[in-house]
């Protein structure tokens, strides 16, 4: 009888866990950005608040692009574009949602990104192209914190720079019909910007779409995705 009570109690705990998981919005699926974002702007449509030194770097990048010179951009050499640039490119991504982690799989080179749920963000992370991400649920919104960035990547297709001190916060909210995803991203980087700032993007789910095998090295340089 005692064994039966233990079994029933365990089943009850399991049921509660399932119900809690079911209460969390399901972000799984393939998502396409709703409107192309070439250059990031703040939520009120202004230019990001760059420091004078960073403004000079940004101006140099834009001048190079105007001449058709993309040598400063690692993406043209098949290196990961970085974040949040991957989230504003005209390339889809898939979200795989699990109880303890979410996985983003980007069509570009099938780049993987793992978001650990309910873990603290480490303070001694080695630099990575996509940083180190942890997430948590804030009501129906998924909040992702990322740090530990390699400063060689760009924030957008226009060559907006950042430093290794960047901290990116993403807030994802799913529409009631589950077909639209809104992202509010906040960037803190005292080496590059005079203050923190936010930008946004929207995505539409594409049911039935499968992320294909896309190999950057097999793509001609002039056709490699940058935006």
Closest CA to 113 of 95, 139, 91: 95
Q: Is there a contact between 62 and 158 (Cβ–Cβ < 8 Å)?
A: yes
Cis peptide leading into 227, omega within 30 of 0? no
Point out the residues of the chain with pLDDT beneath 50.
Answer: 1-20
* Distance, CA of 75 to CA of 226 (rounded, Å): 7
| Beta bridge mates, 147 | 132
Provide the token pair at 74: 């690692």
Q: Is there a contact between 164 and 147 (Cβ–Cβ < 8 Å)?
A: no
* 67 contacts: CB under 8 Å, gap ≥ 6: none
For the chain, give the percent of residues with pLDDT over 70.
87
* Distance, CA of 227 to CA of 220 (rounded, Å): 16
Provide the token pair at 183: 């992202």
Residue 8 is predicted with a pLDDT of 35
CA angle 138, 142, 148 (to 5 degrees): 110
Residue 11 is predicted with a pLDDT of 40
In tens, the pLDDT along 18-59 reads 333 558 999 999 999 999 888 999 999 999 999 999 999 999
In tens, the pLDDT along 167-191 reads 999 999 999 999 999 999 999 999 9
Residue 226 is predicted with a pLDDT of 57
Residue 192 is predicted with a pLDDT of 98
Please give the C-alpha separations between residue 71 and each of 61, 89, 111, 161, in angstroms, as whole numbers: 10, 19, 21, 14
DSSP structure class, residue 42: -
């Amino acid at each position: 009888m005692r064994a039966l009570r233990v079994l029933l109690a365990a089943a009850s705990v399991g049921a509660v866990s399932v119900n809690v998981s079911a209460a969390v919005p399901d972000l799984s699926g393939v998502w396409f950005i709703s409107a192309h974002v070439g250059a990031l702007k703040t939520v009120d449509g202004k230019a990001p608040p760059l420091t004078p030194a960073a403004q000079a770097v940004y101006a140099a990048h834009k001048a190079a692009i105007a001449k058709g010179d993309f040598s400063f951009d690692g993406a043209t050499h098949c290196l990961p574009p970085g974040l949040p640039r991957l989230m504003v490119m005209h390339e889809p991504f898939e979200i795989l949602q699990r109880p303890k982690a979410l996985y983003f799989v980007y069509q570009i080179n099938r780049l993987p990104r793992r978001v650990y749920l309910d873990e603290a963000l480490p303070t001694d992370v080695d630099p990575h192209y996509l940083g180190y991400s942890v997430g948590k649920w804030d009501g129906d919104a998924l909040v992702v914190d990322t740090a530990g960035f390699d400063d060689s990547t760009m924030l957008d297709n226009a060559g907006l720079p950042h430093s290794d001190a960047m901290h990116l916060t993403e807030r994802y909210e799913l529409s009631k019909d589950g077909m639209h995803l809104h992202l509010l991203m906040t960037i803190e980087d005292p080496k590059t910007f005079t203050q923190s700032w936010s930008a946004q993007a929207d995505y539409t789910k594409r049911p039935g779409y499968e992320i294909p095998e896309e190999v950057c090295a097999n793509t001609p340089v002039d056709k490699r995705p940058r935006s």
